[in-house]
Structure 1
Amino acid sequence: MSDDASGDRGAGSAGSDADFGPYEAVYAHPEGDATVGRQVKTAAEYGFEGVLVRTGGAEYDPGTLADRYGVDVVRGVEIDAEDPQGASGAVGTHRSECTVVLVRGGTDALNRFAVEQDRVDVLARPFDGEGDVNHVLVKAAVDHDVRIEFDLGAVLRDDGGTRVRRLRKLRKLRELVDYFDAPYVVSATAASHLRLRAPRDLAAVGEQIGFGADAVREGLAEWGRLAARNRERLSESFISPGVQRGRDDE
């Protein structure tokens, strides 16, 4: 099976109008501590229906893993750049190669860049470093259909003051996303299969930031909906939203 963006559809894939169960977005070797196969195997055991691989340099065949473990495997890339200029070039390089394109935030400049780009699917880890998210950025995310990530990793793995500060920021983001009805995704940002958490565990953490369990499930399922939408857009039959190439148009 092809590894390009249009060829990563695996077991459990469905159209954009289907109902989706929980997906997780993970790091893998060489950026993470586990292979893609190990991450996918563990995610399947935990009850996830799909796995998005954030590490662009990872070597794997989505179709083979999907068939082996019975879950959808999505080729993605998380762009980690020093500034918006570097991020812009990387987005252009990877947009046609990967089903889902994320930009790692963490500074105000990168957060702003990500939510203002139609070519970007997800603003990832917006609170890494000194970055923050305000109402202006959330409104931009709505306008450009960019999902903002609720990164539960720090809440799961940190303690003390770091955890308290992250909880405060996530609660603020939750209020803004709810007020503006902004698109969002949820993840534990696991770099190892040992750091993966089952959907029910993530729902429990979500309660601490004002999420109900249903809202967390929606954020996990959004990865799958996003992948399905992008696969459709990358297919040869796609022309524009709501319009597909008919037999007479070929």
Structure 2
Amino acid sequence: MYEAVRAYPDGESTVARVAATAADYGLEGVIVRNRSGARAEYDAEAIRDEYGVDVVSGVEIHAADPEQASGAVGNHRTDDTIVAVAGGSPELNRFAVENEKVDVLAQPFAGDGDVNHVIVKAALENGVRLEFDLSPVLRTHGGRRVRALQSLRKLREIVAHYDAPYVVSARPGSHLEMRAPRELQALGEEIGFASEFVEDGLAEWEQLAERNRHVQSESFIEPGVERGGYEEES
């Protein structure tokens, strides 16, 4: 299982520090999802050798509108393994789930964002994962926490109805906000989510990374077609 993190300078801890904590918590990898303007510097191979944790390059695009988001997706798609678009409005949510180049619609309920059957059906059709963001449940109280729980349960009902793809994250911004998978599974059970549902959402990050790395590899031409040893570049 993997977790998607924000590391320094977008978060408070370095990628190496986050990876060390991930290893202690039994996570196999981390997705570095910093904003495009706050890229982290790290040596993924050195970190993997030291901690046994896979470090996957990613980006979380925060944009004012779909036009700005579209340009950012195009800029990052070939360089980053995981491309996420942060929600914030109905227009941004719709853009993200209708774009095959987007892997994840992150924070779909942020700002004025919402999720309905149209959004989830489009996500299913285009292979865009919807994020179950557990951070408000972990780190807020009162009315904000209640609203977050309502949104998560609403999303779960629609996702389950359409069997749409999804990921789960605690959205840690430091190693101190990291949570072990068993902790997130226990939290899920407390709020009415099956343990397996949370586990599958954490595992989906790894499956996304493996798929995209394969697509970006030189051997991949198109779905179902790969370059063999007998082929040469023209």
TM-score for the superposition, normalised by structure 2:
0.95
Indicate conservation of the 8 Å contact 1:78/1:103, yes or no: yes
Hey, what's the Cα distance between the residues in 1 that align with 2:205 and 2:8?
A: 21
Residue number in structure 2 paired with 1:143: 125
Residue number in structure 2 paired with 1:34: 13
Residue number in structure 2 paired with 1:91: 73
Q: Are 2:177 and 1:195 equivalent residues in the alignment?
A: yes
1:45 is aligned, of 19, 24, 30, to 24
Q: Are 2:230 and 1:248 equivalent residues in the alignment?
A: yes
1:100 is aligned, of 61, 82, 92, to 82
Residue number in structure 2 paired with 1:152: 134
Q: Which runs of 5+ in 2 are unaligned?
A: none
- Greater mean deviation of Cα atoms: 202-211 or 74-83: 202-211
Hey, what's the Cα distance between the residues in 2 that align with 1:228 and 1:48?
A: 16
Residue number in structure 2 paired with 1:16: none
Hey, what's the Cα distance between the residues in 2 that align with 1:181 and 1:148?
A: 11
3-state SS in 1 of match to 2:120: helix
Superposition pairs for residues 198-209 of structure 1, below 5 Å? 198-209=180-191
Q: Match of 2:45, as an amino acid? A: G
- Greater mean deviation of Cα atoms: 28-37 or 134-143: 28-37
Q: Are 2:46 and 1:64 equivalent residues in the alignment?
A: yes
3-state SS in 2 of match to 1:25: strand
Hey, what's the Cα distance between the residues in 2 that align with 1:97 and 1:230?
A: 11
- Greater mean deviation of Cα atoms: 56-65 or 189-198: 56-65
2:4 is aligned, of 11, 22, 25, to 25
Percent identity of equivalent pairs: 62
Hey, what's the Cα distance between the residues in 1 that align with 2:105 and 2:146?
A: 22
Indicate conservation of the 8 Å contact 1:170/1:209, yes or no: no
Residue number in structure 1 paired with 2:150: 168
Hey, what's the Cα distance between the residues in 2 that align with 1:197 and 1:107?
A: 28
Indicate conservation of the 8 Å contact 1:101/1:121, yes or no: yes
Superposition pairs for residues 214-225 of structure 1, below 5 Å? 214-225=196-207
Residue number in structure 2 paired with 1:54: 33
- Greater mean deviation of Cα atoms: 66-75 or 200-209: 200-209
3-state SS in 2 of match to 1:34: coil
Hey, what's the Cα distance between the residues in 2 that align with 1:87 and 1:62?
A: 27
Count of residue pairs brought into register by the alignment: 229
Shift in Å, 1:209: 4.2
Q: Are 2:87 and 1:119 equivalent residues in the alignment?
A: no
Residue number in structure 1 paired with 2:115: 133
Q: Which runs of 5+ in 1 are unaligned?
A: 1-21
3-state SS in 1 of match to 2:130: strand
Hey, what's the Cα distance between the residues in 1 that align with 2:192 and 2:129?
A: 19
Hey, what's the Cα distance between the residues in 2 that align with 1:66 and 1:133?
A: 37
Indicate conservation of the 8 Å contact 1:174/1:210, yes or no: no
RMSD, matched Cα: 1.0
1:178 is aligned, of 143, 160, 163, to 160
